[in-house]
Amino acid sequence: MDVSQEQVSMTRYPNLLQHLNKRKATDMPVLHQQTFRLDIDKTSRALYVVGTVLKANLNRSAPPSSKYFSVQCSPRVQYRITPPPPESGTLPTTLNGNTMLLITMDTASEVENDCKLSVMYYGEKTEVLGKAVVHLTAVEISLDVDADRDGQVERNNPNKGSWMWGPNGHGAILLVNCDSEHTYGKRRDSESAEVTRVSDLKDMSPMVLRTSGPAKLPAGYKLTMHISQGDAESVRVFRTRSTAGMHQTLKNLFYKSFVKDYPLVLGSEDLSKEVPYLGGNAEMKFYVEGLRFPDKDFEGLISISLSLLEPSSQGFPETPIFTDRVVFRVAPWIMTPNTLNPVEVFICSTSDNYQFLKGMKRLVENNGYKLKVCHEYMNRGDRWMQDEIEFGYIDSPHQHFPVVLDSPRDGQLQDFPYDVLLGPDFGYVTRTAYNEEVSSLDSFGNLEVSPPVIVNGTIYPLGRIIIGVAFPTATKGRNMTKVVQDFLWAQKVQEPIALFSDWLLVGHVDEFMTFVPAPDKKGFRLLLASPDAGYKLFRGLQKDGHGQAKMFDGLGEKEEITVDEILSDDKLRAENNYVQSCIDWNRDVLKRELGLDDDDIIDLPILFHVMENRAVAYYPDMVNMIVLGKNLGIPKPFGPKVDGRCALEAEMTSLMEGLGLSCTYIDDFASYHKLLGEVHCGSNVRREPFSFKWWNLEM
Amino acid sequence: MDVSQEQVSMTRYPNLLQHLNKRKATDMPVLHQQTFRLDIDKTSRALYVVGTVLKANLNRSAPPSSKYFSVQCSPRVQYRITPPPPESGTLPTTLNGNTMLLITMDTASEVENDCKLSVMYYGEKTEVLGKAVVHLTAVEISLDVDADRDGQVERNNPNKGSWMWGPNGHGAILLVNCDSEHTYGKRRDSESAEVTRVSDLKDMSPMVLRTSGPAKLPAGYKLTMHISQGDAESVRVFRTRSTAGMHQTLKNLFYKSFVKDYPLVLGSEDLSKEVPYLGGNAEMKFYVEGLRFPDKDFEGLISISLSLLEPSSQGFPETPIFTDRVVFRVAPWIMTPNTLNPVEVFICSTSDNYQFLKGMKRLVENNGYKLKVCHEYMNRGDRWMQDEIEFGYIDSPHQHFPVVLDSPRDGQLQDFPYDVLLGPDFGYVTRTAYNEEVSSLDSFGNLEVSPPVIVNGTIYPLGRIIIGVAFPTATKGRNMTKVVQDFLWAQKVQEPIALFSDWLLVGHVDEFMTFVPAPDKKGFRLLLASPDAGYKLFRGLQKDGHGQAKMFDGLGEKEEITVDEILSDDKLRAENNYVQSCIDWNRDVLKRELGLDDDDIIDLPILFHVMENRAVAYYPDMVNMIVLGKNLGIPKPFGPKVDGRCALEAEMTSLMEGLGLSCTYIDDFASYHKLLGEVHCGSNVRREPFSFKWWNLEM
């Protein structure tokens, strides 16, 4: 039995529900039916949209005492009577209370009113009581998008009006137009009132209105495109003014000054606007622009409708007689883990970091990557390139580009992302904390992302975002601002994990963890700072007779301290016990939320000590490294030397060598470590996007 | 191969994803593992939570040069070595880099430190290098809710930490505590700082903390309950102060003045608070109160956590070593369609509506329902009882009560819902339009709900909400305020449909549609006003020789008009053609969105005319009726009389009789119809809730 036809009153038959174990069945295609009125004793005109059904209640328009009727029509018109009469042909048929006439046509008209349908009504003795005549014009109308995500706008995709995740899913994709076609005097393109360069059209989703029919619509009919008020803050629509949208040459795309050819159709000021009907077989091209990223109050879905309006009597609004609808989802902002290939490395040049700069330059350029230095006039002494920004990207079948997320931290580097990074095919997004205190936990050294993982059978092909906050049990503590957290969670495709980082003075997750690529297991290892591993190494040194070896050798007598002295410092040991318990807590969360085994984790020998009741690295924090493919740039730890070689470097190198990774130790002692940061804090890496497409996620 | 164990690097093996066609596998129960540290050469103490696993890396704590180890423990302690050693027993086992010791216990301790575990480390020649000793205390902790929705708080439901829709779903339910235990000097209970009456506890969800263990926790350990900042605006938690929570007598529940016994635990001022550990086998009862309904920025899910905190060195925050979490969903506000049994009927008494009141009183009381009259001191002349309020209810396994939604319309009736309706077990909710214009479309004659329907296989067992707005294609027009629309859509369980009602001067959907119960088909019929049906009836009268019969007979000469005059009025005919096209547009939407056939719809003979470019009923609008079970209270149409009987009443009665419905015609001509409303606009019905439970919906 067809469920949709089933007689059902669930209040009376509640157990019916038990027979239907899934509420949502698959969408069945249903021809759009339109109630249609016949007028007696006058000729009316109607516009018909191919693919719909006009449904007229014959009894409603019948003259009083009508008993029979007959239907005649042009060859291109098909009709059907329901309930089907026992008789056949054009002979008079018995009329009853619910006799319906269903009218369809297969093809568009080439001229207006080229088809005709008439209904004759007869009385008891088959005398004619009245006649209804309709002149019909058929048009084809389809608002089309790239609902199958292949980069092409296909014709009338049956799924274009909904959105589904996954490789078998469907639904078009929209980018937030957050880059700037201009390098000077720039702002984000979505903030410009108009299309300032034709190259900007690449950042918008193509949408095509395909129509077929006579040279013009019958008098009074018109096409209107419209969006809801709710969607208007998230989307704008432009169109080609040119009527030859389909013949537009590639050349146009690469030369500017065609701005006036792309008028705004829909936006917050215009929720509904007439669009021209071009006549014949025509395509009109539209460009759809996303204005905002998914967020707490915006799931990311928007829809655009195209209606055919029928004129009404004077003074009354036109009635939409056909509506076609397409749905887009705004592409999320996606972060890139250490396992993705680097493209560019960013660092700051300051008055005191020449050595560091030189070491980084060698590491980056020797491995074939681009180094971008932010100079002092721009960084104003703020060297924490990791903390002001996070690189990510947005992706669609037609376009993708990097997008920088600007932290509400807003140190002296605050103008860098907008003034330097924003540009053609380089987007910018930020979140402003209006009613919240911004803390050190808002720096993006506290925002990382894991490589792809599978957790209890749930796949995260784009990894999971990792942030650091206070313990949820803490009655007070620092947190990442809610505006940024809401933004990160709303992107959905890299479901975030909140770690506990408030135990650190600076409070960033990159002070105790990172990921490096690996040839085996899950394709990566999680590296964790481990005071226990540190003490184990120092105890081993002592046992092997190196108790008098010095940490910080060569950095000045004030800094130096022997292995024996470190091991005999009970306060330091107690502080490190506390640090280890904090890291262990995070280790358990990471194992659970990333589906890791202990074998996926490597403990690095790093000691901390406590300042102002919170922890900082005791010597350069080797986990705070930069990962460039198989090459690691690691803070030089200045550990105790055995046979002239730093025991900490030796241990680190040995742990990484097993994974085929090569370690370069960079001296950041004076210019970063002493300022409570290291190599990772002082750099940033823009990476290649995932080859995996976010819309193929199963959600 | 176990997916969670699989070696995976999706960036390198993107096709792996194709083998996993569902991203979300079923949750597999995973024992909570906690990284555990062993200290050499001193005795440590640990608190163990039954059901977790303590996991210690033996190598991490081993003295330098350790080669072997052995483990000994009390009989109640179980341990396992991984990777499993080839040897067995307590003989020394070979230690390697990743040897892990997993510790579990089955039952809670009766006294502190009643169990012990020790690890001995040996060197190359099995000489003892060190020993780690741990004294263990085991506790059982479970934060429990009614996750299986049977009204009872079961013990440690494995699904309590998540929420799933459907009859096979799970997850606890929370009510917005929007009633008032007080009738005088009242406010909503959720706005009171404390539990003002013990009877208020019935409106909260019970939650139980079950603990088992020694008389007190080891020194420094404590239990803390906590919520996130985001959830704090949606939930509060109270608890019994009494330590004998499980022995509380029923008597307590019915007498007041036990307020101080129910202190606030969590709220917007307290995101985290210590809760007492009672010792032995104990249950502490909590009461969870919902503060806000689902809305655009609140999906309705909230979670509450209970953590066991371990003391840290002085000055450092305690570390949570175990967290139990429960999830609630806030119950949506649910509307009641005409097919549900009435409980009370509300109407206004005004200086000029005595006849109407009398007619309604007879109809309501003769059929055994309660009539509640709102008197003039309260209604201040505002008779539109339908427009100021909408009755609905909220439901949970432990409690349900009616909740009135107060319209932002705010006519002279505006104090009625709060001052009169709000009370014990009668909730109140409203939405305020701060930045929007409130129009006539915000009156709740423009907010209705269908009976249960099945649409293309999708079941709506609670029906679908119906509102009226402007055409989406209109460049200007009146709409229902966004705050109310957002609220309605966010309730989710009666997915709304937007109709076009702006063509009406008053602009309410109840001017052209209603639902009546039916014994067959889908259990109801949709009634639609139909000018075509009206003209058909009038033409039939004319043809049968009643052209001189008068409409409005007896209402004064000024009102009277003959059938012939009506039929010869071309302007009226044109206006009704327009009205019919508007209703037909809505008919098509309703057919599509409610899965209706034409057989499910009955056209009622009703004419409209146009005032100020919008439509109003030409004679009393029979579709604007009150539905009380099988009894309909219908505006008396004052139609032309045939053989002394009103032809409109005769037609209406005949259409309804076929469904077993009885019609009572109520004279609302002077006191309602002339003021542009009718019986439905001037009344409201509180109905019984659905027997179907909203959480059994498959979403």
pLDDT reported for residue A645 = 96
Residue B87 pLDDT grade (very low, low, confident, very high; cuts 50, 70, 90): low
- Which is more confidently placed, B158 or B96? B158
User: Is the predicted pLDDT of residue B474 greater than 90, yes or no?
Assistant: no
How is residue B618 written in tokens?
């030409």
End-to-end CA distance of chain A: 32
Q: Classify residue B4: in a domain, yes or no.
A: no
> Among A2, A4, A10, A38, which would you mutate to test the B interface (most chain B Cβ atoms within 10 Å of its Cβ)?
A10
State percent of chain B over pLDDT 90. 82
Q: Are residues A344 and A292 in the same domain?
A: no
> Among A454, A479, A571, A572, which would you mutate to test the B interface (most chain B Cβ atoms within 10 Å of its Cβ)?
A454
User: Is the predicted pLDDT of residue B90 greater than 80, yes or no?
Assistant: no
Q: Classify residue A634: in a domain, yes or no.
A: yes
Residue in A60, A61, A312 nearest the CB of B578: A312
* Distance of residue B174 Cα from the nearest chain A Cα, in angstroms: 22
Over chain A (699 residues), the average pLDDT of each successive run of 10 is: 35 37 41 88 92 94 92 95 75 86 96 95 92 96 98 96 96 98 91 89 97 95 94 95 49 49 92 94 96 95 96 82 96 98 97 96 96 96 97 98 96 95 97 93 98 95 97 86 96 97 97 98 97 96 96 90 97 94 95 96 97 95 98 98 97 97 97 97 98 95
The whole-angstrom separation of Cα B589 and Cα B499 is 7
Q: Are residues A495 and A388 in the same domain?
A: yes
Strand B561-562 to strand B550-551: parallel, antiparallel, or no bridges (unpaired)?
Answer: antiparallel
Q: Classify residue B131: in a domain, yes or no.
A: yes
What confidence tens digit (pLDDT) does each residue in A217-241 have? 999 999 999 999 889 999 999 998 8
Residues of A tagged active-site? 387, 508, 510, 681
* Distance of residue B554 Cα from the nearest chain A Cα, in angstroms: 28
Q: What are phi and psi of A112, to 5 degrees?
A: -60, 145
User: Is the predicted pLDDT of residue B534 greater than 60, yes or no?
Assistant: yes
Q: Are residues B564 and B507 in the same domain?
A: yes
How is residue A655 written in tokens?
């742990």
Rounded to 5 degrees, what angle do the CA atoms B335, A297, A689 make? 135
What confidence tens digit (pLDDT) does each residue in B638-691 have? 999 999 999 999 999 999 999 999 999 999 999 999 999 999 999 999 999 999
CATH of the domain at B38: 2.60.40.1860
Asked if B39 and B132 count as a contact pair (C-beta separation under 8 A), the reply is: yes
Coil, strand or helix at A167: coil
pLDDT reported for residue A46 = 94
Inter-chain residue contact B25 with A458, CB threshold 8 Å: yes
Q: Classify residue B2: in a domain, yes or no.
A: no
Q: Classify residue A1: in a domain, yes or no.
A: no
The whole-angstrom separation of Cα A178 and Cα A465 is 22
Q: Which of A330, A356, A377 is the C-terminal boundary of a domain? A: A330
Asked if B144 and B160 count as a contact pair (C-beta separation under 8 A), the reply is: yes
How many Cβ atoms sit within 10 Å of the Cβ of residue B696?
17
Q: Classify residue A23: in a domain, yes or no.
A: no
Using omega within 30 degrees of 0 as the cis cutoff, is the peptide bond preceding B83 cis? yes
pLDDT reported for residue A32 = 85
Q: Classify residue A5: in a domain, yes or no.
A: no
Q: Are residues A92 and A158 in the same domain?
A: no
Q: Which of B119, B139, B159 is the C-terminal boundary of a domain? A: B139
How is the beta sheet containing B77-82 ordered, strand by strand?
B32-36, B52-57, B100-105, B77-82
Burial B278-317 (b: 16+ CB within 10 A, else e): beeebbbbbbbbbbbbbbbebebbbbbbbbbbbebeeebb
The whole-angstrom separation of Cα B327 and Cα B450 is 31
By CA distance, what is B691's nearest residue in A?
A: A11
The whole-angstrom separation of Cα A664 and Cα B183 is 76
Residue B21 pLDDT grade (very low, low, confident, very high; cuts 50, 70, 90): very low
Task: Please name which of B150, B168, B257 lies closest in space to residue B206, comparing C-alpha atoms.
Answer: B150
Q: Are residues A111 and A190 in the same domain?
A: no
Q: Are residues A170 and A217 in the same domain?
A: yes
Inter-chain residue contact B613 with A98, CB threshold 8 Å: no
Who's near B674: CB < 8 A, 6+ residues apart? none
Residue A167: list chain B partners with CB under 8 A: 17-18
How is residue A547 written in tokens?
């108790």
For residue A125, what is the DSSP state? T
Among this protein's residues, is B374 annotated catalytic? no
By CA distance, what is A313's nearest residue in B?
A: B578
Cα dist from A83 to A102, A566, B171, B357, B455, whole Å = 11, 95, 48, 45, 22
Who's near B321: CB < 8 A, 6+ residues apart? A585, B34, B47, B49, B308, B309, B310
Q: Classify residue A16: in a domain, yes or no.
A: no
Coil, strand or helix at B519: coil
pLDDT reported for residue A174 = 98
CATH of the domain at B152: 2.60.40.1700
* SS3 sequence of A537-575: HHHHHHHCCCCCCEECCCCCCCCCEEHHHHHCCHHHHHH
Task: Please name which of A238, A687, A173 lies closest in space to residue A397, comparing C-alpha atoms.
Answer: A173
User: Is the predicted pLDDT of residue B170 greater than 80, yes or no?
Assistant: yes
How is residue A52 written in tokens?
């719909």
Q: Are residues B97 and B202 in the same domain?
A: no
* SS3 sequence of A613-629: CEEEECCCCCCCCEEEC
Inter-chain residue contact A458 with B520, CB threshold 8 Å: no
CATH of the domain at B621: 3.75.10.10
pLDDT reported for residue B227 = 96
Q: Are residues B401 and B475 in the same domain?
A: yes
Rounded mean pLDDT, B74-79: 96
Q: Are residues A57 and A84 in the same domain?
A: yes
**Could you identify the residue written with the tokens 């990791």?**
A386
Q: Are residues A346 and A311 in the same domain?
A: no
Among this protein's residues, is B387 annotated catalytic? yes
Q: Are residues B510 and B589 in the same domain?
A: yes
Q: Which of A278, A309, A330 is the C-terminal boundary of a domain? A: A330
Task: Kindly state the helix (H) or strand (E) to which residue B389 belongs, with its residue range.
Answer: strand B389-395
Residue A127: list chain B partners with CB under 8 A: none
Rounded mean pLDDT, B373-399: 97
The whole-angstrom separation of Cα B119 and Cα B103 is 12
Residue A472: list chain B partners with CB under 8 A: 226, 228, 272, 305, 307, 320, 323
Residue B315 pLDDT grade (very low, low, confident, very high; cuts 50, 70, 90): confident
Which residue(s) pair with B402 in the sheet? B393
Among this protein's residues, is B609 annotated catalytic? no
pTM score of the predicted model:
0.91
What confidence tens digit (pLDDT) does each residue in B404-433 have? 999 999 899 999 999 999 999 999 999 999
Which residue(s) pair with A347 in the sheet? A373, A683
| Domain tally, chain A | 3
pLDDT reported for residue A47 = 96
Look up the domain containing B93 and give its range.
Answer: 33-139
Residue A272: list chain B partners with CB under 8 A: 472-475
* Distance of residue B396 Cα from the nearest chain A Cα, in angstroms: 18
* SS3 sequence of B38-86: CCCCCEEEEEEECCEEEEEEHHHHCCCCCCEEEEEECCCEEEEEECCCC
Q: Are residues B419 and B529 in the same domain?
A: yes
Rounded to 5 degrees, what angle do the CA atoms A256, A258, A263 make? 135
- Render B462-485 in DSSP notation, one character per residue: T--EEEEE--TT-SS-----HHHH
Residue in A22, A584, A697 nearest the CB of B35: A584
